[in-house]
Amino acid sequence: MTATIHRLDPHRDPGRPAASLDPMVALVTGDMNMVNAVILSRMQSQIPLIPELAGHLIAGGGKRMRPMLTLASARLLGYMGTRHHRLAAAVEFIHTATLLHDDVVDGSDLRRGKRTANLIWGNPASVLVGDFLFSRSFELMVEDGSLKVLGILSGASAIIAEGEVNQLTAARRVDTPEERYLDIIGAKTAALFAAACRVAAVVAERPEAEELALDAYGRNLGIAFQLVDDAIDYVSDADTMGKDAGDDFREGKATLPVILAYARGSAEDRTFWKAAIEGHRNRDEDFARAIELVRSTRAVDDTLARARHYGQRAIDALGIFANSKAKEVMVEAVEFAVARAY
């Protein structure tokens, strides 16, 4: 079967249903049940606070997109074994641990529409349970027995931490260059997307070209996903995002829409942005002005254009694979990631 060239169009034909993750959920339901069993088992501890706190976030309504990508990638490759179940669980534990740590660093109060763990149980407990989940993820990697898998996932964990530190050192710096910001999200977000997909090729014992193609698919999807998150912080609400519109703004995050608006703004606009990102202009009327500025400078539009660019790169990376149901749903996952803003 020959491969089809797909073109990303966030404005799908009116007769087509909206892009959704539902086809991917349906494709991997059986495998995901096995992954959830591993997650439930491995988050247990004789210390009751650990499963209580971990369960608050793990059961908090997340899409489980990263472990689903491991499972869908394995299905794309025709893998019939079970190793990917534990590795998908390891991916989810890494992601959950980073969320726990992120919320402490950011001082966040809301995650997926619910109070954050650090707000309920405090920062020390959130950090330590995050450490516990990281340890569980490494146990699962070691149990898999592949040094290559261990290298990919542990390497991604280190890159995520580097990205977080890079973001911390750029905090409240509205003059952060676009290139540095893309490096940050490439590390803190896209690295785990890439690793989640790539390990499937390792367990399926596929050629390096397919391994690298899945890495490229995940990496570009992760960047597109984060850029859309950046944009819709200025055009959406808690029902869509699982957080309130303007959370990034009020936390002083110089995301790409802000970086672009600052670079394109007048001297007066730049003064406003500098004060806002430094935490001195974060009232509702300030956020309203920020929305006006990111729209008038086309900063949101151009952020979404960049997201579409990376989304298309993700789809193109799948070009070496024959057409299949798994490929279709992986393409639709990209369309969903981009279409969330429309």
Give the span between the Cα atoms of 287 and 282, in whole angstroms: 6
> Does residue 237 carry a pLDDT above 60?
no
- 3-state class (DSSP) for residue 4: coil
Residue 259 domain flag: no
Question: In this predicted structure, what is the pLDDT of residue 252?
Answer: 87
Question: In this predicted structure, what is the pLDDT of residue 11?
Answer: 55
Of 292, 283, 290, 289, the C-alpha closest to 174 is 290
Residue 98 domain flag: yes
Count how many Cα atoms sit within 13 Å of the Cα of residue 58 in the half-sphere of its side chain.
27
Q: Which pLDDT band holds residue 61 (cuts at 50, 70, 90)?
A: low
How many residues does the structure list for the chain? 342
> Does residue 56 carry a pLDDT above 60?
yes
Question: In this predicted structure, what is the pLDDT of residue 3?
Answer: 56
Lowest-pLDDT choice from 67-71, 74-78, 338-342: 338-342
Q: Which of 243 and 255 is assigned the larger pLDDT?
A: 255
Q: What is the pLDDT of residues 113-123, one digit of tens each?
A: 678 888 889 99
CATH of residue 159:
1.10.600.10
Residue 273 domain flag: no
Question: In this predicted structure, what is the pLDDT of residue 12?
Answer: 55
Q: What is the mean pLDDT of residues 19-34?
A: 95
Strand partners, 110: 115
Lowest-pLDDT choice from 58-62, 122-126, 148-152: 58-62
Phi first, then psi, for residue 130 (nearest 5°) are -60, -45
Residue 150 domain flag: yes
Residue 148 domain flag: yes
Q: What is the mean pLDDT of residues 18-24?
A: 91
Question: In this predicted structure, what is the pLDDT of residue 1?
Answer: 43
Q: Where are the alpha helices (DSSP H) in the chain?
A: 22-27, 29-42, 49-58, 65-76, 83-106, 117-121, 123-144, 147-169, 178-185, 191-203, 208-232, 238-241, 247-250, 256-264, 267-277, 284-296, 299-317, 325-339
Mean pLDDT (the chain, rounded): 91
Question: In this predicted structure, what is the pLDDT of residue 294?
Answer: 95
Residue 8 domain flag: no
For residues 203 and 91, is the Cβ–Cβ distance under 8 A?
Answer: no
Q: Which of 118 and 3 is assigned the larger pLDDT?
A: 118
Residue 96 domain flag: yes
Residue 316 domain flag: no
> Does residue 41 carry a pLDDT above 90?
yes
| 110 phi-psi bin (left φ>0, alpha ψ -120 to 50, beta other) | beta
> Does residue 59 carry a pLDDT above 50?
yes
For residues 75 and 339, is the Cβ–Cβ distance under 8 A?
Answer: no
Q: What is the pLDDT of residues 310-336, one digit of tens each?
A: 999 999 999 999 999 999 999 999 999
Copy the structure tokens of residue 212: 């690298």
Q: Which pLDDT band holds residue 238 (cuts at 50, 70, 90)?
A: very low
**Distances from the Cα of 197 to the Cα of 130, 183, 236, 302, 317, angstroms:** 23, 20, 29, 28, 12
Parallel, antiparallel or unpaired: strands 114-115 and 110-111: antiparallel
Domain range for 182 is: 22-225+322-336
Give the span between the Cα atoms of 59 and 123, in whole angstroms: 20
Give the span between the Cα atoms of 73 and 115, in whole angstroms: 33
| pTM recorded for the entire structure | 0.92
Phi first, then psi, for residue 110 (nearest 5°) are -135, 135
Question: In this predicted structure, what is the pLDDT of residue 108?
Answer: 76
Give the span between the Cα atoms of 274 and 290, in whole angstroms: 11
Question: In this predicted structure, what is the pLDDT of residue 251?
Answer: 84
Report the number of distinct structural domains present in the chain. Answer: 1
Q: What is the mean pLDDT of residues 133-155?
A: 97
